[in-house]
Amino acid sequence: MSDASLATSQDGGVTALEGLPRIDIVGLGPAGSDLVTNGTIALVGEIEHRFVRTSRHVAASLIQGQSFDHHYETHENFADVYDAIASDLVAAAKSHGRILYAVPGSPRVAEHTVELLAARSDVTVVVHAALSFLDLSWVALGIDPMTAGVHVIDGHVFAEQAAGLRGPVLVAQCHSQQVLSDIKVSVDDPGLMSAVVLQRLGAADEHVFEVAWADLDRKVTADHLTSIYIPWLPATTADTFAKFDVMVKRLRLECPWDAEQTHASLRRYLLEESYETLEALDQLVAAESDDHGEPDKVEHRFADLQEELGDLLYQIFFHSILATERGWFTVADVAQGIHDKLFERHPHVFNGEEISTDELAIRWEAAKRQEKGRASVMDGIPAALPALVFATKVQKKALAIGQSVPQPTAADKISTTSADEIGELLFAVVDLARSLSIDAEDALRQHAASFADHVRQSER
C-alpha cells in the first residue's frame, strides 16, 4: 500500500507527504446545509481553491467552487466522466498545491471519483467524514441496519451484486427509469414482492412510499436522489441450484443409500420419477380443463407437479455428480451444453433470422445428425419406448426430412377428428389384436421399425 493511499484513511489533520500536492475531500451531506458538518465548513474557509463534483446539490453553494457538471454533458458514460474529473482534480492540485473537493453525501459512500483519487500515488488524498444518505435511510425506514442485516448495493450492477444475497437490501443510485427497469427484471420470480422508494431524504420534498415490484419502473419517477429498499430479496435461480448441488454432493458422501448408487441402479428411479411427473401433468391438465373445477384443486395439482419435478431434478443432479466423480462432466456442463445447443438451434430467436416452421424442423434434424454422427434420422430413437410413442417418433422424423407416411386403406375411411374417437379406434385395434392372439404392442413396434428401415434405405 502506498503512503498516498494510507493518507486516504485519515480524517483531517494530515500533513501532506513531502513534495506531493494535497486534495482534501469533504462531503456535502445528503440534503440541506443543516446536514453539513462543522469540519467541512471550516475547511471551506481554510482552503482557497475549491471544487464540487456537481452543482446539483442544495448545499453546493456553500463551497463556492468550480463544478464538473460539464463533464456529464460531454462524455457518454459515467466511467469517462469520473476519469475526467479525477484527472482535472489532480492537475488542479499540482497547480495550486492544495485544493478542496466536495462531493454529495459522504466521500466514502458510492463515490467512484474518490476511489480513483485514492489510488493515485502522485497526490496526497485526505478524506474527511460526512453524513451520508444511508444514515437518513435507516431513520426513514425505522430500522437498525445491523440488527436487520441489511445489504447495500449499487443499482447499476444490481444483478451482479444481488446474486446470492438473502434478506433486506438497500439499493443506491437508482437515478433513472432504465436502472429501475434493469433492477426489476433481474428478479426471476418476484411473486408479491414490493419495494420501499426513498427519494430526496432530508429535503423539504422528501418522499417515502411503497410500490409493487411490477410497478417499480412505471410508478416511480427516478432522480439522482432515489434509492429503493427491498425488505426481503428472494432466492435467485442460480443460487438455489448451487445450494441444491451442494446438498446432493453431501448426500452422496454421507448417506449410505446414496453412496451405493450407480448409473445402472438409478435407472429405474429415473423412469419412475418420469412417469410420476407425467401423471402429475395429466392431473393438472384435467383440473384446469374442468369447467366446474375448484381453484384450490388446481393449486394442489400445481404443488404436486412442483414436487415431482423436484424429484426428477434430483435424478438429473445425481447422475451428473456420478459423472463428475469419474471426471467426465459436471451439472454445470449439462446446463451449459443445453444452453449452447438451444442457442444454436434457434437462430430465429437469438439472431433475428427469419425461418419457417418446416425449415426449422429440417435444420433441427440435420443438426442432430451432424452432432451425433448419425447416418439416419431414425438412429437414436430409443428402442425401449412404448410402441405408440415409438411409432409417433418414427413418423415425426420421417416428416421432418420430407418423407411421407403411408396411410393404410382402413385409415382412409376414418373421418374422426377428436381424441376420444382416436382412442376408441386404438382400443378397437387392441381388441382385434387380442382376439387374434397378436401382441398389439409388438405388432405396432415391428411395423414402425419396418418403416424406419424403409426411411433409412431412402436416405441412402
15 and 108: one domain? yes
Within a domain: 274: yes
425 and 445: one domain? yes
127 and 9: one domain? yes
214 and 271: one domain? no
121 and 148: one domain? no
State the pLDDT at residue 4: 41
Within a domain: 333: yes
State the pLDDT at residue 234: 78
Q: Say how many residues make up the chain.
A: 460
112 and 12: one domain? yes
Q: Which domain holds residue 105?
A: 3-131
User: How is the chain split among helix, strand and coil, in percent rounded to 5?
Assistant: 55, 10, 35
Question: What does pTM read for this prediction?
Answer: 0.51
148 and 226: one domain? yes
- Which CATH number fits the domain that encloses residue 338? 1.10.287.1080
- Which CATH number fits the domain that encloses residue 205? 3.30.950.10
State the pLDDT at residue 402: 73
State the pLDDT at residue 78: 85
Within a domain: 34: yes
- Cα dihedral sign, 437-439-445-446: negative
Low-confidence ranges of the chain (pLDDT < 70): 1-18, 235-237, 291-293, 352, 358, 361, 365, 367-375, 378, 387, 389-390, 392, 404-417, 427, 435
Within a domain: 340: yes
CA nearest to 57, candidates 19, 87, 82, 30: 30
Strands (E) located in 59-192: 66-67, 98-103, 124-127, 151-154, 167-172
Within a domain: 255: yes
42 and 154: one domain? no
205 and 250: one domain? no
- Which CATH number fits the domain that encloses residue 60? 3.40.1010.10
Per-residue pLDDT tens over the stretch 207-242: 999 999 999 998 999 998 899 999 988 766 677 788
Please state the domain count of the chain: 4
State the pLDDT at residue 3: 38
71 within 8 A of 120, measured Cβ to Cβ: no
406 within 8 A of 398, measured Cβ to Cβ: no
